[in-house]
Amino acid sequence: MSKAAHVTPLQRVSVAEAAAWHHVVAASTAHDLPGVPTPDPGQIHAQLTQPALGSRRLTWLATAAEGAPVGVAALRVFTSPGQEHLAELELHVDPAHRRLGTGSLLLSTVLAACLTEDRRSLIAAAAADSPGEAFSERWGFRRALTLDHLILGLDEQPEADLLQIADTAPAGYRLARWTGTVPDELADAFAAAKNAMNDMPVGDLDYGSVAWDADRVRAMAKVIADRGDTLLTTAAVHDDGTMAGYTEILLPQGSGPRAQQYDTAVVPVHRGHCLGLWVKAAMVRQLRAEHPGVVEVETDNADDNVHMLAVNHRLGFRSYRRTHEFQLDLPAT
């Protein structure tokens, strides 16, 4: 293990520390995920300084002998009922400083924190066939889920096809749209629909479950707004007032060209009416009309989520990379 790297826990992240973090993440992303946009410095600063929903974050910075940043680690400690056993790892090492023990030093520090926090499951993501995958396996993480990442070029879906899908409302349903916080009159219905995500495929991950209510969906929107991002939601509302399904798109701060798909879900009793395809097509149409600076959307699906993969392929999404979710089962304290 290298003695050159020194690990420092970050308490209140300063502008300089956020810049150092961004330096490491940018170098790591460019090396391991060519073609994947690097978060800009403002996004990194917001991620490190703004509260997260249902969790808190512990962070560490590794520096070389001369003080240069060479690695970072973050531990997301989940606090919501149903997930108090869980923590999530993010770890990056500058490619120029790998194979020197920095990653192992950071992970050892994180594992000690997991014991202090009484966690039994640590999850982490790594691109398929990447150094992160090999590192995870070397440390005893087991592969628990594979995600297929897909990209949609917003100019690739023929307009006529998109209009036909978006304009064909299933009988008994109407669209609702909002930016940011859900309207008060839809908050309870939206929270009920959010709970449909608890049956999404998670492979062998010990992910737990989250109970959504109106307060939690409002808190989620506030977290996103406070870090400078924009959340767009399109929902299918049944004639009886229940929310049957929805899709969410995140526009990262800085108005970059790539939007991120957040949740898409259809409530079980409303499945079989092509609602997922309908709301996603309506969202794509909205992005084209109202956000011309966005040229593509990225999403990911579990590789066994056959239905949602079919919906995305129907809309023109194409697979472009894969990620493995790993889990390390921690000893009980």
What does the radius of gyration of the chain's CA atoms come to, in whole angstroms? 21
Q: Write down the pLDDT at residue 160.
A: 72
- In angstroms, rounded to a whole number, what is the distance separating the alpha carbons of residues 182 and 198? 20
Question: Per-residue pLDDT tens for 306-320?
Answer: 999 999 999 999 999
Render pLDDT for 139-155 as a digit per residue (tens, 0 to 9). 999 999 999 999 999 88
pLDDT band, very low/low/confident/very high, at 4 (cuts 50, 70, 90): low
Alpha helices in 150-262 (DSSP H): 159-166, 184-194, 214-226
pLDDT of residue 235: 98
C-alpha torsion angle, residues 321, 263, 22, 78 (rounded to 10): -120
Rounded mean pLDDT, 101-130: 97
pLDDT band (50, 70, 90) for residue 62: very high
Averaged pLDDT, 180-193: 97
Give percent of the chain above pLDDT 90: 83
Q: How many angstroms separate the Cα of 15 from the Cα of each of 28, 86, 287?
A: 20, 29, 33
Alpha carbons 295 and 255: distance in angstroms, whole number: 11
Please tell me the predicted confidence (pLDDT) of residue 2: 45
Top pLDDT among 68 and 159 is at: 68
- pLDDT band per the 50, 70, 90 thresholds, residue 3: low
What is the SS3 string spanning 3-72? CCCEEEEECCCCHHHHHHHHHHHHHHHHHHCCCCCCCCHHHHHHHHHCCECCEEEEEEEEECCCCCEEEE
**Of residues 120 and 203, more confidently modeled:** 120
The answer on pLDDT for 1 being more than 50 is no
Listed in sequence order, the residues at least 6 apart from 312 whose beta carbon sits closer than 8 Å to its beta carbon are 150, 152, 280, 299, 301
pLDDT band at 231 (very low <50, low <70, confident <90, very high): very high
Mean pLDDT of 259-272: 94
Q: How far apart are CA 195 and CA 198, in angstroms?
A: 6
Sorted by where each starts, the structural domains of the chain and their CATH numbers stand as 6-119 (3.40.630.30), 150-321 (3.40.630.30)
CA distance 238 to 177: 14
Q: What is the pLDDT of residue 164?
A: 84
- The C-alpha atoms of residue 87 and residue 71 are separated, in whole angstroms, by 19
Question: Does residue 208 register a pLDDT over 80?
Answer: yes
d(CA 294, CA 296): 6
Calculate the average pLDDT of the chain: 93
Please provide residue 14's backbone torsions phi and psi, each rounded to the nearest 5 degrees.
-85, 170
What's residue 106's pLDDT? 98
Torsion of CA 90, 146, 137, 123, to 10 degrees: 40
Q: Is residue 326 within 8 Å of residue 143, measured between CB atoms?
A: yes
Return d(Cα 250, Cα 264) in angstroms, integer. Answer: 12
> Over 60: is that where the pLDDT of 290 sits?
yes
Query: What whole-number distance in Å separates Cα of residue 159 and Cα of residue 244?
Result: 26
